[in-house]
Structures are given as C-alpha cells and as structure tokens.
Structure 1
C-alpha cells in the first residue's frame, strides 16, 4: 500500500558528505540521511574528506569545526575557492563570534549539536533549494506512515518471535532483533542508549559491536519496509541511541 506525495524533493542523487570525528554522531547522521533518500557518506577527518573528494562530487557538506587534523573553518575556506556546494556547520560551539566567523567565511547555515535530526534535514532542504533552484520536484511514492494508522499498534509476540505491523503483516525476528524491539517497546518515546541496548543483548560496548548494532537496526527497518510498506517509527536520537515513537505492545502469550 503506497501513497503518492506531491512536490517531494528528488534527493536520491544528492550527495552529502558528513565530516564529523565523533563516529557515533557521524554514523547517526549518515544513517538518517540515507533513510531520508539522500546519498550520504561519512568522514572523520579533513584528510579523509579530501581523499573522498577524488571519487565523489558532493552537493552538500555537513561540517564539524573541531576536526582532529584541521579546523573545519580551514576546510570550508579551502572548499569555497573550489566548489559552490552547500556547507552546513554542525558544531558544539555556540558563541556568536564563531558563528559569525563561519557565516562570513561562506557557511550557508550554522547549527549546534543539540539540533534534532528533523531540523538538520529541513536545513539541508533549505540550503539545497537556494543553491540548486532548478532541482526538479517530482511525485514519488513514499511508504504510508504510522500517523495514518493511529488506532493500531505494533505488536511484538514473544512466544512466536515475530513482529506484527499495524496493517496486519507478520515478520519473524531473530534474538537480537527481539531484544532490541522489546527494549524499545518497554521505553516507548524514551531514548535508549546504544550502551544499554548492548548490555541487554549481552555484548560489550565496543566500536565493532556498536557498528553491528546500527547495521542490525538498519536491516530490520528495510525488512519491515519491504514486507509491509510501513516505515517503523524507530527514531535515531542523535548521538545517544534509539527510541520508538509509535503505539506498541508486547504479547507474551499465544
């Protein structure tokens, strides 16, 4: 079941570079932007970004200031002599002097790291509309949203190990997916940290396990979308973890 949404921006061919040395923040942004139909890549240093520029012509940069090898302001100044791509600064620095310096150096927008992912996405669209005024607006198919099924819940059946979607589809889940969903359902609308999720799953808090967790969640989202045409309301809480933003229930009997 699909819905046509008019005037949705065709973002699939928009390439975004996320330049952020905090791997969790970088991965959150890259995952979110890819889910929102952009083509995003992450870089944790200026040197890796410069290497990436040899392969990809980016339309937009999300740029941190405090990179390990070079200031983000220096990176932006260098890019402004070579590219007309959009640049959005995302930084923990909130003082007016830094903001003015970045905007005067060529930043299209300046956000702090307490900005929500939705604000970051909206800012990306706003900058793209300014720098690409001829960007075609088309009608694209989008999955139906949970808001259209407000009276129905996502049901997690513990005895049979499957997830039932609000529109009646059933998806078998593995042990990791079961623990992950059960935890989010228990703390609906409350962010659950990745560290807490790894404890529940029984794995140490290592970079490798964090990446495996994020990949597992990404695959789960895709499986549900492919089966039911529903986007499960698992929200990435920027730099923290995940939360479930929908109506849910855990069924522990047949």
Structure 2
C-alpha cells in the first residue's frame, strides 16, 4: 500500500507540481491549500507524512506541525521560503523531522522524504535497527560508532574525525543545503575565509576517497551561494558525534 502524503501549500502552482511529482514517484497524495483543508482531509484519511508550508492564509505551519506531532504518528516536513537558522530551529522545535526551503529540487524533496517514511513505517522498539538493515541495499549508511561510510553498492570507507563530522551534519540536514560557515562551525572552527577554503579542500578529498574505496560517487553536491547538500537517501547508526547544535541541526536519521 502506497504511503499517503499530505501537501499543505497555498501556492497553487507549487502545490500542483509537488503533488504530481510525488504521484509519479508512487505515493498517494492529497493537496491542501490551507489549514482548514488540511483538517478537513484528516476526517477521511490518515497521512503517512505531511509537507507543511509555514505561511498559510489561515494558519501557521509551525502550529500545524505541533498539532500533527501531538495527534498523529506520521512524518513531518517543513517546506518553506524561510531559510534563516532561527526558522530552521523553530521548525524542528515544533516537531518537524525535515526542514527544506522551496528552492530545493523536487528530487531532493523526494530523497529527504523516503528515509523519513522508512522511519515512520518501521514498527516496534527496534525500528531504527531494522530500518538501517533494510536500507543497506539502497541507501548510504554512516556508522558513527565505527567511523565508516557504506555505499548502496556495499563498499565501505573508513573516515577521519573531520570527515565523519562533515558527512554526519550533511546527512542530518535531510537533503537541505548547509552553508560553508554552518559546516565549519560544526567542526569547531572559526568562520573564516581560510577555514571555508580548507573545508572545500576536505570535501574534495573525501569525495575522491569515497569513490576510490567504495566504487560509488559521494552524493555531496555544491552550489554557488548555497553551500553543500547530501542528495541521496542515507541512514545514520551508532553514537552521536559532538557537533555545535546551536549552529547546525543535528538529528539522527536512524
């Protein structure tokens, strides 16, 4: 049975495009253009996940996320034009699992949605372990305890502490873009031009390392003015790393 996704977005064109794309991806999709339509849709269906805009004509998306987190056992994605760190934190504090901006490609939205759905639909107290096991064949897996990254093809690479932190915060962003200063601060370093340049070098080297050791290309993309994003489904297992949570959202994918 296909997962049911509610898209709560008042921009008619974006709502239509997103609904059509997710339907092509195999989901059952319900489009809502207001908070009232969302509540009305809940009378007939229970969503597996909900994608909320923040600024709706009759409701605040953060409030709807809190309501959903308290009332339903489903995944929550915020998809909004609000890109500031304060808004990111407000989204996660309201109960969101994923926070993306509206300039994210549809493919990235889908990529962030799929691991979220796996977490939601895996039952039982050992859901995280089961999800990690099931996702090994089609996802990247970062083991923060053993410092290894495993590709969908099964190849593994051993990471340094810095590489582990970089990949961890990128995966934790669930397909969202992180600026160079965000990542530099997560590494415990000052936000300087030199450290940002060093980050570019570190990411270039870890890309080469992962390709050499696993045979698969590391799906870390870069865009001018936006930073970096991990654009393929990924799982995280093992212990948490020590990152600066005041600057970067750290939330386990496992």
TM-score normalised by length of structure 2: 0.48
Structure with more contact order per residue of length (Cα contacts < 8 Å, sep ≥ 6): 1
Max Rg structure: 1
More strand by share: 1
